[in-house]
A and B are shown apart, each in its own frame.
Chain A
Amino acid sequence: SQTIHQWPATLVQPVGSPLSLECTVEGTSNPNLYWYRQAAGRGLQLLFYSVGIGQISSEVPQNLSASRPQDRQFILSSKKLLLSDSGFYLCAWSNGEVNIQYFGAGTRLSVL
């Protein structure tokens, strides 16, 4: 069966520090991968998605970037965090035939 791992679960970082959140998927190949941010009382906001290695689409301009160095690995990064980057970040995957997106457990990022 397919599983998705996302870490760390919580992270506290100072303003101006770098960020790296990692997401890996097991049990499937060539998944579509997604990074979302979830704000309190609002719907999920799609940040990036990827349909293959090295292929990244950005949905909103921001201080973040994403990379997909391997088929089942998706990384969310920042060179210098801002206070406004605080939030709950979710990674998800889907396969090309079924649209259902399956989510990781999320990372709670606090930028202080």
Chain B
Amino acid sequence: GESVGLHLPTLSVQEGDNSIINCAYSNSASDYFIWYKQESGKGPQFIIDIRSNMDKRQGQRVTVLLNKTVKHLSLQIAATQPGDSAVYFCAENRFGYGQNFVFGPGTRLSVLP
């Protein structure tokens, strides 16, 4: 597969535990955020999004938390499974409803049996 993520920070969690992946963003004007999951050799896959008028949003086994005060975003994965092993990265939109996202470098999640 591709060499994406060779030097990324890694989070290792035990199967069944909860995972928390963090992302700091730099622009206080960003008002829309997305979390992506990228498995080895594949393109990024949309997981969940959140707008700046919310501080929490839940999906299936995932929760995104947004703290605008400290410009911090987190992705929580409940009951982590082996299939959750991947690189996770956040994206922020600096232009409101424009198309120009800024993508973080990502965190590699490794699920231990």
Q: Residue A88 contacts which of B2, B36, B97 (CB distance < 8 angstroms)?
A: B2
Enumerate chain B residues within 8 angstroms of A41, measured Cβ to Cβ.
4-8, 105
Q: Is the interface of B mostly helix, strand, loop or mixed?
A: loop
Tell me how many residues of B have a C-beta within 8 Å of chain A: 31
Say yes or no: A106 contacts B99, CB within 8 Å: no
Q: In whole Å, how far is A76's beta carbon from the nearest beta carbon of chain B?
A: 14
With contacts A6-B43, A100-B46 taken as known, whether A40 is within 8 angstroms of B97 at the C-beta atoms is: no
Find residues 1-23 in chain B having any chain A CB closer than 8 Å to their own CB: 1-8
Q: Could you give, for residues 76-112 of chain A, a 1 whenever the CB lies within 8 Å of some chain B CB and a 0 otherwise?
A: 0000000000001010101000011111111010000
The residue on A at minimum CB distance from B106 is A43
Enumerate chain B residues within 8 angstroms of A101, measured Cβ to Cβ.
34, 46, 91, 99, 101
Q: Could you give, for residues 19-40 of chain B, a 1 whenever the CB lies within 8 Å of some chain A CB and a 0 otherwise?
A: 0000000000000101010000
Find residues 16-66 in chain A having any chain B CB closer than 8 Å to their own CB: 32, 34, 38-44, 46, 49, 51
Q: Roughly how many angstroms separate A42 CA and B83 CA in the complex, as a whole number?
A: 23
Say yes or no: B43 contacts A103, CB within 8 Å: yes
Enumerate chain A residues within 8 angstroms of B45, measured Cβ to Cβ.
103
Say yes or no: B103 contacts A43, CB within 8 Å: yes
Q: In whole Å, how far is A98's beta carbon from the nearest beta carbon of chain B?
A: 9
B100 CB–A CB distance under 8 Å: yes
Enumerate chain A residues within 8 angstroms of B91, measured Cβ to Cβ.
44, 101
Known: A44-B91, A105-B41. 7 other contacts (CB 8 A): A40-B3, A41-B8, A99-B93, A101-B46, A101-B91, A105-B42, A106-B2
